[in-house]
């Protein structure tokens, strides 16, 4: 079973305690954005086969939202970090690049 | 190609079965094709078949990275129905269901279509109203369905428990000509017919890149070298996003695991398909006697063809209440497939930003039932640039806010 460590309460939570919240770090285009930008924000997803950043909620624990970095091809969990981040922390990015040579962070949408 | 018939079976029985030929050829790829289809699952093979049959385009290659029909075609629970709410969905799914009726004769291959009837159980007041609405919509669309009472459900499914404490059965949406078919046979039958028309089915040939020139597709890079084409059809379900990435665009799709399981074989006990969308479970009995059970999807992105065990647990827990006899069954196998889910739970059959490249994806959890209709529409789209079956399913609908919203209508199970 997938387990993720909640960065707020520190619990190593089972998947049954958590709710998946989809892709993370989307740029939230709002009023004044172009139609293409708003379309991408609402619908277009990276959906990578490999390193994926996503939002999770510790629903049956502390109730807080947080971020997780996982590999969708191997189900390896690289780490979790707080929701108040607009991009993954540098240590986590370096750790992923060490495990997946050639991988680098890029801005999505 | 030698035709399959009762006479052929008798003839081969008398000579130790030495006369059966291979169902399809396994050639090396040529340098150039008119059309390349990526993905030799049911949808890809059906697309190729109708390109040849309806439009006379037979210089076609079908590329498959694994083996034919080894993805979701061989992993689904084989349910066929067309009781959708929205008009474009009902049109393509009903076309598909009607093609299934005569598919064995068309392909000269027994796909074991069994129109045994499909019930979708209404287990909440919300579902009762929803299915009554669907039954009315279906009447207008020319799809034969009817809303039936709990007592009629019990007549059709004697093993059901109508008065479970959490999920009582309040009625059902009954489609008499829905049913099941043999999933592998659908892929094999199309493959045999495609090969007979001179098309090349190339297995273990992974597409690693899409070659374009001036915004137009000119071919693909593969593990067996570059192959040129004029038109490219991408029909790869869960991996659509990966192929789109190669061509430089993104899709409104997320790939997640959907799971199913089968029990040990038992004597015939249920001769219809029962779907219970409130509890994310559906069940039918295969010809071998196994109870084939489908579950819900995971919430997180996944490309591994393995799902979370607690979803299986939820499905079985709910089914035990509706079918108490399931509690006595041993489960033999459990597996997962990667389904491509769109925002409105309807498929994408569309042109793409790359000229000459077409994509057929987003069937999500309901791809098997739509194989013939999807192939029919996709072939027309590739050959003529548009099709009345697929026009509403273009990628531009997300831009225009013109959704085909089945996520509410169809519940979760497809």
Predicted confidence at residue B413, as pLDDT, reads 45
CATH of the domain at B144: 3.30.9.10
Is residue A62 assigned to a domain?
A: yes
Residue B274: count of CB within 10 angstroms of its CB: 25
Domain that holds residue A66: 3-99
- Per CB-CB distance under 8 Å, the chain A contacts of B399 are 35-36, 39
If you average pLDDT over every residue of chain B, what do you get?
93
How far from the centroid of its chain's Cα atoms is residue B314's Cα? 24
Predicted confidence at residue B261, as pLDDT, reads 93
Q: Which among A1, A39, A47 is the nearest to B253, CB-wise?
A: A47
pLDDT band at B61 (very low <50, low <70, confident <90, very high): very high
- Estimate the crossing angle of helix B42-55 against helix B183-196, to 10 degrees: 40
Is residue A106 assigned to a domain?
A: no
Look at B146-155, B235-244, B275-284 and tell me which has the smallest mean pLDDT.
Answer: B275-284
Predicted confidence at residue B93, as pLDDT, reads 96
C-alpha distance from A62 to closest chain B C-alpha (Å): 20
Is residue A56 assigned to a domain?
A: yes
Predicted confidence at residue B187, as pLDDT, reads 97
CATH of the domain at A95: 3.30.2270.10
Sorted by sequence, the CB contacts under 8 Å of residue A108 that are 6+ apart come out as A23, A25, A26, A27, A46
Instruction: Give the burial string for B132-155 (b: 16+ CB within 10 Å, else e).
Output: eebbebbeebebbbebbebeebee
Is residue B409 assigned to a domain?
A: no
Sorted by sequence, the CB contacts under 8 Å of residue B273 that are 6+ apart come out as B79, B81, B116, B117, B118, B119, B178, B179, B180, B282, B283, B284
Mean pLDDT (whole number) for B42-50: 98
Domain that holds residue B170: 115-179+254-342
Element (H, E) at B281: strand B281-285
Residue with tokens 């959890």: B365
Q: Which among A43, A44, A72 is the nearest to B301, CB-wise?
A: A72
Decide if A54 and B300 are in contact by the 8 Å CB cutoff: yes
Predicted confidence at residue A109, as pLDDT, reads 46
C-alpha distance from A18 to closest chain B C-alpha (Å): 10
Predicted confidence at residue B277, as pLDDT, reads 84
Residue B67: count of CB within 10 angstroms of its CB: 11
Decide if B255 and A72 are in contact by the 8 Å CB cutoff: yes
- Per CB-CB distance under 8 Å, the chain B contacts of A23 are 254, 301
Q: How far apart are CA B151 and CA B223, in angstroms?
A: 58
Is residue B76 assigned to a domain?
A: no
Is residue A41 assigned to a domain?
A: yes
Q: How far apart are CA B85 and CA B164, in angstroms?
A: 28
**Number of folded domains that form chain B:** 1
Gyration radius from chain A CA atoms: 15
Mean pLDDT (whole number) for B314-339: 91
Question: CB contact, 8 Å: A3 with chain B?
Answer: no
Decide if B301 and A35 are in contact by the 8 Å CB cutoff: no
Mean pLDDT (whole number) for A26-49: 90
Sorted by sequence, the CB contacts under 8 Å of residue B11 that are 6+ apart come out as B19
Q: Which among A2, A42, A47 is the nearest to B254, CB-wise?
A: A47
Backbone dihedral angles phi then psi of residue B32, each to the nearest 5 degrees: -145, 140
Question: CB contact, 8 Å: A35 with chain B?
Answer: yes
DSSP assignments along B90-141, one per residue: HHHHHHHHHHHHTHHHHHTS----B---EEEEE-SHHHHHHHHHHHHHHHHH
Question: CB contact, 8 Å: A43 with chain B?
Answer: yes
Among B242, B253, B303, the residue to mutate for chain A (most A Cβ within 10 A): B303
Is residue A66 assigned to a domain?
A: yes
pLDDT band at B412 (very low <50, low <70, confident <90, very high): very low
Decide if A43 and B299 are in contact by the 8 Å CB cutoff: no
For Cα atoms B213, B394, B211, give the angle at the middle one, nearest 5 degrees. Answer: 15
- Per CB-CB distance under 8 Å, the chain A contacts of B298 are 20
Identify whether the C-beta of residue B205 lies closer than 8 Å to the C-beta of residue B222: yes
Mean pLDDT (whole number) for B114-138: 94
Q: How far apart are CA B267 and CA B287, in angstroms?
A: 10
Sorted by sequence, the CB contacts under 8 Å of residue B408 that are 6+ apart come out as B130
First to last CA, chain B: 36
Residue A94 has pLDDT above 50, yes or no: yes
How far from the centroid of its chain's Cα atoms is residue B306's Cα? 19
Question: CB contact, 8 Å: A44 with chain B?
Answer: yes
Decide if A45 and B250 are in contact by the 8 Å CB cutoff: yes
Mean pLDDT (whole number) for B138-165: 95
pLDDT band at B280 (very low <50, low <70, confident <90, very high): confident
Look at B101-110, B229-238, B324-333, B405-414 and tell me which has the smallest mean pLDDT.
Answer: B405-414
Among A26, A43, A53, A74, the residue to mutate for chain B (most B Cβ within 10 A): A43
Mean pLDDT (whole number) for B43-59: 97
Predicted confidence at residue B1, as pLDDT, reads 81
The structure tokens listed for A79 are 């780490």
Residue B373 has pLDDT above 70, yes or no: yes
Q: How far apart are CA B42 and CA B184, in angstroms?
A: 9
Q: Which among A20, A36, A49 is the nearest to B303, CB-wise?
A: A49
Sorted by sequence, the CB contacts under 8 Å of residue B130 that are 6+ apart come out as B122, B408, B409, B411
Is residue B265 assigned to a domain?
A: yes
- Of B247, B68, B255, the closest CA to residue A73 belongs to B255
Decide if B310 and A15 are in contact by the 8 Å CB cutoff: yes
Residue of B nearest to A46 (CA): B250
Decide if B251 and A44 are in contact by the 8 Å CB cutoff: yes
Q: Work out the burial of residue B163: count CB atoms within 10 Å of its CB; fewer than 13 is exposed, 13-18 middle, 19 or more buried.
A: exposed
Residue B301 has pLDDT above 60, yes or no: yes
Residue B7 has pLDDT above 90, yes or no: yes
**Number of folded domains that form chain A:** 1
Task: For chain B, list residues whose CB is within 8 angstroms of any CB belonging to chain A.
Answer: 239, 241-242, 245, 250-255, 298-304, 306, 308-310, 343, 398-399
Among A41, A49, A70, A74, the residue to mutate for chain B (most B Cβ within 10 A): A49
C-alpha distance from A91 to closest chain B C-alpha (Å): 23
Predicted confidence at residue B22, as pLDDT, reads 93
The structure tokens listed for B98 are 């009607």
Decide if B343 and A39 are in contact by the 8 Å CB cutoff: no
Is residue A70 assigned to a domain?
A: yes
- Of B12, B70, B3, the closest CA to residue B39 belongs to B70
- SS percent in chain B: helix, strand, coil, step 5: 35, 25, 40
Mean pLDDT (whole number) for B148-156: 97
Q: How far apart are CA B246 and CA B250, in angstroms?
A: 10
Is residue B412 assigned to a domain?
A: no
Is residue A108 assigned to a domain?
A: no
Mean pLDDT (whole number) for B65-72: 93
Is residue A107 assigned to a domain?
A: no
C-alpha distance from B255 to closest chain A C-alpha (Å): 7
- Per CB-CB distance under 8 Å, the chain B contacts of A48 are 241, 245
Sorted by sequence, the CB contacts under 8 Å of residue B325 that are 6+ apart come out as B159, B269
pLDDT band at B314 (very low <50, low <70, confident <90, very high): confident
Residue of A nearest to B306 (CA): A75
């Amino acid at each position: 079973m997938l387990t993720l460590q909640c960065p707020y309460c520190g619990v190593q939570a089972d998947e049954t305690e958590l709710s998946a919240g989809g892709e993370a770090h989307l740029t939230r285009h709002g009023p004044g954005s172009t139609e293409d930008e708003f379309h991408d924000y609402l619908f277009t997803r990276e959906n990578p086969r490999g390193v994926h950043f996503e939002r999770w909620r510790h629903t049956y624990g502390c109730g807080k939202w947080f971020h997780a970095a996982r590999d969708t091809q191997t189900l390896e969990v690289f780490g979790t970090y707080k929701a108040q981040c607009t991009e993954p922390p540098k240590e986590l990015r370096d750790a992923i690049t060490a495990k997946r040579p050639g991988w680098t962070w890029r801005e999505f949408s | 190609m030698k035709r399959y018939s009762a006479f052929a079976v008798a003839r081969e029985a008398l000579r130790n079965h030495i006369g059966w030929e291979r169902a399809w050829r396994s050639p090396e790829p040529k340098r150039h094709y008119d059309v390349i289809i990526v993905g030799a699952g049911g949808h890809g093979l059906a697309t190729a078949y109708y390109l040849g049959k309806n439009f006379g385009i037979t210089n076609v290659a079908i590329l498959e990275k694994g083996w034919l029909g080894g993805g979701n075609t061989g992993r689904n629970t084989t349910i066929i129905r067309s009781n959708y709410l929205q008009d474009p969905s009902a049109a393509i799914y009903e076309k598909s269901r009607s093609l299934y009726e005569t598919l064995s004769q068309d392909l000269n291959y027994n796909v074991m279509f069994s129109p045994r009837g499909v019930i979708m159980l209404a287990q909440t007041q919300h579902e009762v109203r929803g299915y009554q609405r669907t039954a009315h919509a279906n009447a207008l669309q020319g799809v034969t369905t009817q809303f039936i009472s709990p007592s009629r459900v019990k007549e059709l499914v004697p093993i059901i428990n109508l008065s479970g404490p959490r999920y009582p059965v309040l009625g059902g949406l009954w489609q008499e000509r829905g049913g099941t078919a043999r999933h592998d046979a659908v892929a094999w039958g199309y493959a045999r017919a495609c090969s007979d028309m001179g098309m090349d089915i190339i297995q273990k040939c992974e597409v690693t890149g899409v070659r374009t020139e001036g915004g137009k597709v000119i071919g693909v890079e593969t593990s067996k070298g570059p192959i040129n084409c004029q038109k490219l059809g991408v029909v790869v379900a869960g991996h659509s996003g990966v192929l789109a990435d190669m061509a430089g665009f993104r899709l409104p799709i997320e790939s997640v695991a959907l799971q199913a399981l089968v029990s040990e074989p038992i004597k015939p006990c249920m001769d219809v398909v029962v779907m219970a969308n409130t509890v994310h479970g559906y069940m039918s009995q295969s010809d071998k006697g196994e109870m084939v059970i489908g579950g819900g999807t995971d919430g997180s992105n996944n490309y591994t063809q393995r799902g979370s065990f607690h979803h299986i647990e939820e499905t079985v827990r709910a089914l035990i209440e509706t079918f108490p006899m399931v509690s006595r069954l041993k489960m033999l196998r459990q597996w997962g497939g990667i389904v491509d889910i769109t925002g409105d739970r309807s498929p994408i059959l569309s042109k793409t930003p790359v000229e000459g490249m077409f994509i057929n994806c987003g069937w999500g959890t309901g791809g098997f039932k739509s194989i013939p209709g999807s192939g029919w529409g996709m072939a027309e789209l590739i050959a003529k640039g548009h099709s009345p079956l697929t026009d509403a399913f273009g990628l531009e609908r997300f831009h225009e806010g013109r959704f085909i919203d089945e996520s509410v209508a169809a519940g979760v199970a497809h």
